[in-house]
Amino acid sequence: MPTYRPGPVSLVLAALVALFLLLPLLAVIPVSLTPSRMLAMPSGELSLRHYRALIEDPRWIQSILLSIRIGIVSSAFSTVLALCFSLGVWMFQPRFTAALVGFVLLPMVVPPVVSAITLYFLLTSISGFSSFFGYDTWLGVAMAHAVMTVPFATVLILVSLSQLDRRIDLAARGLGATVWERATRIIIPNIKFGIITAALLSFVLSWEEIGVTLFITSVNAITLPRLMWMGLRDNIDPAIAALSVILIIITVLVLAVRSAVVRLRGGH
């Protein structure tokens, strides 16, 4: 079967589109090297002072570690919830499956500000009973993020289940396997990549969440996106540009490693 190879015109157009999309990201690099205390392009002199500020200022380190902790907890919680729901719907096929799936996907279609206000009142009410889990606590933020990421994890897991042959589950049930054995030994191993993808997506969505976080935090649970937002609102700190460059480099490295792994697997 002949393979299609793009011509020079297509390659040039693709390169121009990619350059157009990457220019805003590339513009952050010189801004991060400005010696000025304000967000501005450097005028002749370059400085690494804002990269040093990321290390020397404990607020940045604390917010990064807090965002990682919240992301891990919310990702684990949302993935477990999405997996339990998806397995239940797929294995038992209840009568109101469409209604149940639609209910779970509500946070995806409801405006974020509505979800943020609802979670704000919920967590402030919980704060009256517990100071550990409620408004402006890292665990409360993690649970709020889980509520927002469960729909996305559910969609990914349901897609993985839709590609699984149902006869495998029927055969296991016919051989006397219990529901737990069918779920843990038959179904989950066959959709493990979908589960991993759901967990990674949930972590990324929690890592960059800012809309809900602004409503449910004050001074104690300052995540990295909230600290960046505060820096832009108060004094336009160029350290945000330095942090953006670091995140871009990490993303590029992850994509490069992934491409290398795919090529190695394809070579074998």
Could you tell me where the DSSP H helices lie in 5-111?
8-26, 28-32, 49-56, 58-92, 97-104, 106-109
Are 210 and 114 in contact, with CB atoms under 8 Å apart? no
Model-level pTM?
A: 0.83
Instruction: Using the structure block, give the residue that is written with the tokens 């540009």.
Output: 241
Could you give the CA distance from residue 170 to residue 176 in angstroms, rounded to a whole number?
Answer: 10
* Residue-by-residue pLDDT tens, the chain, 268 positions: 456 677 778 888 888 888 888 887 788 888 888 877 777 777 777 888 888 888 888 888 899 899 999 999 999 999 999 999 999 999 888 888 889 998 999 888 888 888 889 999 988 888 888 777 888 899 999 999 999 999 999 999 999 999 988 888 888 888 888 889 898 888 999 999 999 999 999 999 999 898 899 899 888 888 988 888 887 766 677 788 888 888 888 888 888 887 888 788 766 5
The whole-number pLDDT of residue 3 equals 62
Closest CA to 216 of 127, 150, 105, 151: 127
Residue 61: partners with Cβ closer than 8 Å, 6 or more residues away = 54, 55
Phi, psi of 33 (to 5 degrees): -100, 10
The whole-number pLDDT of residue 144 equals 92
Domain residues of the chain, as ranges? 64-244
Are 191 and 164 in contact, with CB atoms under 8 Å apart? yes
The whole-number pLDDT of residue 30 equals 83
Of the candidate CATH numbers 1.10.10.10, 2.40.37.10, 3.30.390.50, 1.10.3720.10, the domain formed by 64-244 belongs to 1.10.3720.10
Helix (H, G, I), strand (E, B) or coil at 178: coil
Q: How many CB atoms lie within 10 A of CB 124?
A: 14
The whole-number pLDDT of residue 267 equals 60
136 conformational bin, left if phi > 0, alpha if psi -120 to 50, beta if neither: left
Are 141 and 219 in contact, with CB atoms under 8 Å apart? no
The whole-number pLDDT of residue 36 equals 76
Q: What's the one-letter identity of residue 192?
A: K
The whole-number pLDDT of residue 177 equals 86
The whole-number pLDDT of residue 199 equals 94
Element (H, E) at 151: helix 138-162
The whole-number pLDDT of residue 268 equals 56
